[in-house]
Amino acid sequence: MKTALLHHWLNGMRGGEKVFEIFCDLFPDSDIFTLFYEKARISERINKHSIVASGLNRFSLLRKNYTNMFMFFPFVTEQFDVTGYELIISSDTISVKGVITSPESCHICYCHTPPRYVWDRYFEYLDNAGLGRLKKQLARIFLHTYRQWDAVAANRVDYFIANSNYVAKRIAKAYRRKAVVANPPINLHQFSISEPEDFYLTLGQLVPYKRVDLLIDAFNEMPDKKLAIVGSGPLEKTLRKKAGRNIEFTGWADEEQKVRYFQKCQALLFPGIEDYGITPLEVQACGRPVIAFGRGGVLDTVRGIPSNECASFDPEKNTGVFFQSQTADSIIHAIKVFESHVVSQIDPLAIRKHAEKFDEKQFSSRISTLIDEMTQDFNKNGPPVYR
């Protein structure tokens, strides 16, 4: 079938783009449509395709501030002409699922998340955006309109695939649609086991929802323990001011440096709520455990045990510890029980074996099967919504 692939933007190789690479491999003759595109920052697996970028991509100022252009995304998405394609696959976090298709086209959306700032994190976004009174009121009006369009855009999709059970529930809540789950993969060959050192690790953008502030509060109360914070972001200056001497800010790290941090840490600390969160999986591929807040996509990838049940930790089954509330005290308790009941039992090989279930080959096989089943169903019975 003549196939079109859509991805929200192609200006860096993050988790979503690594998933998109696999769609590109499965459909080597497909054409790609995207809002923003920077060839030098994208892998050859993607670049070898014919790529059409939106009109916004013509202006360097807009490319540099692409996340601030979201008020234009509905309009520019609807300008992509994909009516001549039999199969449309959108890889989406924001708007490209809203592309206009023909009645004969089967549209499958791999949804990384419904836009958080117009759905379940709407109020959090408004409270933390640093907007004045007038701008905040204008934002409320615009986001209300965007939310209406996003709901309409979801109705243009024939089949949803979610990247986690958490996102599948969010799709059901926001769009009233069912989604099957296919967890994003990792490339196991990039990761290996090494001897750990005496520090804990957190990695990611320093933004409010990551809740790195809780880790700093916790480690300020445990000056004998070390924390490495790998990443950068708008909160870095504020977080540095409140951090004790036992907390190190390393800045951003390349892929090779990240692997070394994963291999050497006692455990990854993951205090936020993520739609999926690829980092816990990568850490486990290095044989290291995860201490995480027990909500969100991490429940798909970490075989965690509640911190109040750590005495029953099974090294053959469990790969981490879940704390039950987003507080510094809860994190401190989880680390203490981790050190008293878990550290001595950790089996790096067993943890890596769990991560092997998420290798690219397994993901590619599952996605291929799902797409075949969905297209056959569409061609035989038509769009599911009309049955």
Task: Give 63-116 pLDDT, tens digit per residue.
Answer: 887 777 888 999 999 999 999 999 999 999 999 999 999 999 999 999 999 999
**Which has the closest alpha carbon to 148: 116, 119, 112, 179?**
119
**Three-state secondary structure call for residue 292:** strand
pLDDT the model gives residue 233: 87
Q: Which two tokens stand for residue 165?
A: 């059970």
User: Residue 113: enclosing H or E segment and its boundaries?
Assistant: none
pTM flag (> 0.85): yes
d(CA 210, CA 27): 35
DSSP secondary structure of 181-238: E----B-GGG-------S-EEEES---GGG-HHHHHHHHHT-TTS-EEEE---TTHHH
The model's pLDDT over 138-157, given as tens digits with 9 standing for 90+, comes to 999 999 999 999 999 999 99
Residues 6+ apart with CB under 8 A from 226: 198, 199, 200, 219, 246, 247, 248
Domains recognised in the chain with CATH numbers? 3-185+359-386 (3.40.50.2000), 188-357 (3.40.50.2000)
pLDDT the model gives residue 2: 96
The model's pLDDT over 320-377, given as tens digits with 9 standing for 90+, comes to 999 999 999 999 999 999 999 999 999 999 999 999 999 999 999 999 999 999 999 9
The neighbouring-strand residues paired with 46 are: none
Q: Which two tokens stand for residue 169?
A: 């529930």
pLDDT the model gives residue 387: 62
Instruction: Among 177-181, 306-310, 377-381, name the one with the lowest average pLDDT.
Output: 306-310
Q: What is the mean pLDDT of residues 25-34?
A: 97
Residues 6+ apart with CB under 8 A from 7: 16, 17, 20, 32, 34, 90, 91, 92, 96
Q: What is the mean pLDDT of the chain?
A: 94
pLDDT the model gives residue 64: 81
Q: Which two tokens stand for residue 340?
A: 């008293």
